[in-house]
Amino acid sequence: MDFLTLFGIYVGVVLTCIFLVCKYSGQQHSPFNKLLNYVTKVIALFTPQWLQRFSQSTLHRLFHQRNNMFIYLHILLEGAVYAEFTFEVFGFCREMDTTLTSLSVPYILLVVKTFLFYRCIKTDPGTVTKSKFSSQLHVYSYDGRLFHPGVSCPTCQLVKPARSKHCRVCDRCVQRFDHHCVWVNNCIGAQNTHYFLLYLFSVCLMAGDIALLTGDMLLHAVLRSGLLRASYIDDYGQQQPAGPLFVVQHLFLTFPRIVFMLGFLVFVFFLLAGYALFHSYLGIVNQTSNEWYKSRGYFCQHCHPAAIADHLCNPVPDHSKRYYYSRGLLRNLGEIFFPPQAVRKKDN
């Protein structure tokens, strides 16, 4: 198997993973979802019925029912990356006189990330219950656009507090519902959004730091080998300088697992960095991803950056504005990291 074939398989696997993640952990009406639905219909014409039923039932169990599959997958991928880094990259970096302080940063980030990951999994996101829903009704006011008073959840048989939503996967209503995350097997809501946001940034830092150390190691390997000054004889007997493609091919065949790991880390970094920045933006304007998606059809005329900046500085809610729950930058962030609690009224 030549280099281009191997690299093509690698790119195909990565793109398939991106496609599946975008379809099943994002919005149901995203462009990726529509494109994948079209591709699925075309493939279905050539696929046996039993295989279609099996794949549909399997995907339903994975993405529409609570299970720990993605938690185990997360731990497996993380273990593979750290095993490769520890047993191969770490030694090469020590030979290049990389300081132990720099090499210890990924392990410190791993401890921090593991704590935040655990909190995302175990923290109740703000479940609306019969014993608490009367007090939860007063945490947020109804905006009259996306949330209306007196609306009941047909499944929970409870009046829905403002900003809440029923999660079909967890089968419960969640206060300040953002989305259901399959990677932590939990909803992201009022009480664990801050853990989720910090978790995203910790994974980005971890992936970015290991990628930088690995890239630095590969760069030193190229410089020490003298490949940049090397040449080779092509199929026509002509001497050619070793260009970037030759260098990449050499690294890919000499350090295949390290290059695969580096490509995976770069993909994870850019994917989660964009996702973390998006959730940071939502936190700044005090909006959930559920509200962001629903409000696009209602408030398109208020999407101008000047309108956004004006409302961030305005602590008074305006029913005509898209960012109804915004109370200013500091108070919005304070609400994320110190979520308001439902207070029961004492009986006289």
**Crossing angle for the helix pair 244-254 and 3-24, to the nearest 10 degrees:** 80
Report the pLDDT value the prediction gives residue 142, as an integer from 0 to 100. Answer: 92
Give the whole-angstrom CA distance, residue 82 versus residue 319.
Answer: 50
- Long-range contacts at 254-257 (CB < 8 A, ≥ 24 apart): 254/221, 255/88, 255/218, 255/221, 257/84, 257/88
Choosing from 93, 181, 187, 204, the catalytic residue is 181
Tens-digit pLDDT string for the chain (348 aa): 455 566 667 666 666 665 555 555 544 444 445 555 666 666 666 677 666 665 556 555 555 677 888 899 899 989 999 999 999 999 989 888 889 999 999 999 999 999 999 999 999 999 999 888 888 898 999 988 889 999 999 999 999 999 999 998 899 999 999 999 988 999 999 999 999 999 999 999 999 999 999 999 998 888 887 777 767 676 677 777 777 777 777 788 788 889 889 988 998 899 899 999 999 999 999 999 999 988 875 555 444 454 445 545 554 445 556 788 999 999 999 999 999 886 665 544
Give the whole-angstrom CA distance, residue 112 versus residue 13.
Answer: 30
Number of Cβ within a 10 Å radius of residue 128: 24
Residues contacting 254, CB < 8 A, separation 6+: 221
Which of 336, 322, 204 is closest to 274 using CA atoms?
204
Report the pLDDT value the prediction gives residue 14, as an integer from 0 to 100. Answer: 62
- Long-range contacts at 28-37 (CB < 8 A, ≥ 24 apart): 29/293
Residues in a beta bridge with 184: none
Token pair recorded at residue 91: 């030694």
User: Can you tell me whether residue 24 is helix, strand or coil?
Assistant: helix
Report the pLDDT value the prediction gives residue 61, as an integer from 0 to 100. Answer: 58
Active-site residue flag, 181: yes
Give the whole-angstrom CA distance, residue 35 versus residue 24.
Answer: 13
Report the pLDDT value the prediction gives residue 295, as an integer from 0 to 100. Answer: 82
Residue 133: exposed, middle, or buried by beta-carbon count in 10 A (0-12, 13-18, 19+)?
Answer: buried
User: What are the strands, taking DSSP E only, across 42-102?
Assistant: none
Q: What is the pTM of this model?
A: 0.79
Report the pLDDT value the prediction gives residue 40, as an integer from 0 to 100. Answer: 65
The single residue listed with the structure tokens 């580096």 is 262
**Angstrom distances, CA of residue 40 to CA of 33, 160, 182, 214:** 10, 36, 22, 37
